[in-house]
Structure 1
Amino acid sequence: MNDYGGEPGLDTYKKPSWIRKYRTALILLAVLFLFLFSLLKSWPYMLYGPGSAESVHSRVDTGHQLEEKGELLFTTVATYSKPHVFDLIYAWLNPRMDIEKLEVATGGVTNLAAYRNLMAYMRDSSEASALMAAYAAMDKPIDVESQGVIVTALLPESKARENGLQEGDIITQADDLAITNGTELSEYLTAKHVGDLVKISGTRGKETFEATVPLISMAPDNRSGIGFQMNNVLKATPPDTVKFDFADTGGPSAGLMMTLEIIAQLTGEDLTRGYTIAGTGTISADGTVGLIGGINYKLMAADKEQADYFLVPYNAQNESNWTLARETVEKLKLKPKLVKVSTLKEAVDFLSGLEPKKTAP
């Protein structure tokens, strides 16, 4: 006789609940749900890591053939916006990656699209600056014209953000007035009154935009304005046909390496001297090399490509790039030799002074 705890001598059977019956399936379903949620849920962070170190030669076409025995490499930082939890865990465990809040990483811009438009403008601007710096260094003429005004930052007191203007917007018209530079825009706004509405229009990435913005009082002279920082959008047209292929990158930090490649191709001088030369740095029209971010990640990328030298932007008043570069090389035992460069001339002089690299017989 089976005793199930009922009345003596009475066979009983308690039917298991459906939860107990399908417990294994429910657990697997819950695990699958959590896994899918982790894949689909993104978080407001930016991940940083080593990017690439690629030849500039194939990305700059001047129509002049040049056989380089070595390579000039531009370097990048790999960034991942709004990562999933598994990406965050991987970055947290990886000593060569960092995690930063998205708001901090993007400088507090209106949204991620605005940030990307701003990075695209910086890339395009670096191409124009590279052309101007290269032709100035070669003492050759180049045509430059301003084609609008880029919004680089909105001031806290500005009412532009809530009225449809955002960073990365390129302004080409204010009301019925065509705008080609910042002076034209400032003079037009200053002639109006605080509280007046101005219709601003232009391009936002590959689209057009239009925003009606109220003017505010601008310190220190209480003139009327929108309340944003801006730069002129410049187009440089050289006498040679120069084409760039950097559409898959963002930011201005390839400027120096672009400029060196333009000079090499147009002068016919192989500046590599047989070495692999990596580097980074913004470039100004006057040849000044500017500081950049993420130099540690760029050095890692250059080391992976076995670069012989790495050109480091240097500023005597701000040695942050140089200090971080030295610390990274020492900590990770990287191979590239570091070279300080403050100007385009210093970079060209260093490369021109290199003894040609000896190759194994």
Structure 2
Amino acid sequence: MQMKNTQSHWLRRYWPSILIGVIIVLFIIAYMKPLPYMLYGAGTAESVHTRVETGHKLDEKGELMFTTVSTYSNPNIFSVIYARINKRMEVKPVAEATGGATNLKAYRNLLAWMRDSSEANALIAAYAAMNKPIDVKEQGVIVYSLLAESQARSNGLQEGDIITKVDGKETLTVKTLSDYLQTKKVGDNVVLEGTRGTDTFKTTVPLIKMSDNRIGIGFINQPVLKVTPPDPVKFDFADTGGPSAGLMMTLEIIAQLTGEDLTRGYKIAGTGTISADGTVGLIGGINYKLMAAEREKADYFLVPFNDKNSSNWDLAEKTVKDLKLDLKLVKISKLQEAVDFLKKLAPKT
């Protein structure tokens, strides 16, 4: 009985310290525990000039600026709460943010290929715009996304994998891969080899019947291109991912190779994917890219526009209005439209 009284007295005496200790432990656990979310916010608006080398010097009075979105994966609860109440940030579950990719590593490998593919397409589009020849070769097939009916994911294939061999045979083009698979039947296993980021992979997957009645692995593919320009063009975008700098890369290449300062003394920010034929594609996170551009005092922002899908333009207009951003928006559907717009600008005084 005496022991109980002593214990009760001890608890009454030290309960504030115990409570504080428990709170500290819970705080540390909450701080250290990563949550399955991705946070989005304004990234950077940087000059493309320092990121693209062509061997041709050009004194730009202004800047062509590519823009990024800041992302943060597996945040703690405090970061999530902050992002929820911050009107300039957004929170998404990882599965939604990655488009259902197998894992974050696969998603990042896919983003790295998108960046490399954007550089390749920027070269092709720029040289086409200048009516100059350029050497293009396929050097693999990227797993862009896996179809729901595919059995490849459960057998080890991931988004972002670059296939270069099937059953030991070199398959560097989409046609070579497809032609070989048509010699097989549903249920046959094929051995795929290639690269996975900086590593290599080898996996065996069963074939299925596709919706168009062809035999396949069950993924959306894209060619991996090796582009060799006649000029010593080099890119420095290794710290970025995704294809959205394509338009601004292409404009910088054209400016340097033609020796014409397309900035006219202005800070021209923008975003948009670029296709080999010069089509400018829609992107994600344009609201955060506008915030970054405004922070760097950009004069104009080139916005991807599609007659059938005005989502980028609509969000850009809404963001400028809601946040009172001091930016002039310009609709761009094709590379040539961007070039024409810049060339018509009166030089900034």
For 1:185 and 1:175, the matched residues in 2 are separated by: 11
Question: Quick check: 1:235 aligned with 2:226?
Answer: yes
For 1:177 and 1:16, the matched residues in 2 are separated by: 76
SS of the aligned residue for 1:42 comes to: coil
The answer for the alignment partner of 1:215 in structure 2 is: 207
1:169 to 161, 165, 170: 161
Q: Deviations over 1:247-285 (max 9, x none)?
A: 111110000000000011111100000000000000011
The answer for the alignment partner of 1:247 in structure 2 is: 238
The answer for the alignment partner of 1:336 in structure 2 is: 327
4+ residue runs of structure 1 moved beyond 6 angstroms?
none
Q: Deviations over 1:45-88 (max 9, x none)?
A: 11111111000000001111111100011001111111110110
For 1:15 and 1:74, the matched residues in 2 are separated by: 69
The answer for the alignment partner of 2:85 in structure 1 is: 93
For 2:147 and 2:327, the matched residues in 1 are separated by: 41
Q: Deviations over 1:110-134 (max 9, x none)?
A: 1111111111100000000000000
TM-score by length of 1: 0.94
Report the residue type matching 1:150 in the other structure: I
Aligned residue runs from structure 1 range 193-208, under 5 A = 193-208=185-200
Aligned residue runs from structure 1 range 170-319, under 5 A = 170-221=162-213, 223-319=214-310
Q: Deviations over 1:308-347 (max 9, x none)?
A: 0000111111111111111111111111100111111000
TM-superposed CA distance for 1:289, in Å, is 0.6
For 2:11 and 2:51, the matched residues in 1 are separated by: 62
Report the residue type matching 1:288 in the other structure: T
The answer for the alignment partner of 1:43 in structure 2 is: 35
Root-mean-square deviation (Å) = 1.4
TM-superposed CA distance for 1:25, in Å, is 3.2
The answer for the alignment partner of 2:18 in structure 1 is: 26
TM-superposed CA distance for 1:23, in Å, is 2.3
Residue identity over aligned pairs, in percent, reads: 66
For 2:312 and 2:5, the matched residues in 1 are separated by: 74
The answer for the alignment partner of 1:10 in structure 2 is: none
Gaps of 5+ in 2: none
For 1:51 and 1:273, the matched residues in 2 are separated by: 25
Report the residue type matching 1:52 in the other structure: T
For 2:282 and 2:161, the matched residues in 1 are separated by: 24
Q: How many residues align?
A: 346
TM-score by length of 2: 0.97
For 2:18 and 2:258, the matched residues in 1 are separated by: 71
For 1:137 and 1:64, the matched residues in 2 are separated by: 17
Report the residue type matching 1:24 in the other structure: P
TM-superposed CA distance for 1:193, in Å, is 1.3
For 2:59 and 2:120, the matched residues in 1 are separated by: 25
Q: Deviations over 1:203-225 (max 9, x none)?
A: 0000001110011122232x321
Question: Quick check: 1:321 aligned with 2:337?
Answer: no
Question: Quick check: 1:106 aligned with 2:98?
Answer: yes
Larger Rg: 1
Gaps of 5+ in 1: 1-5, 7-12
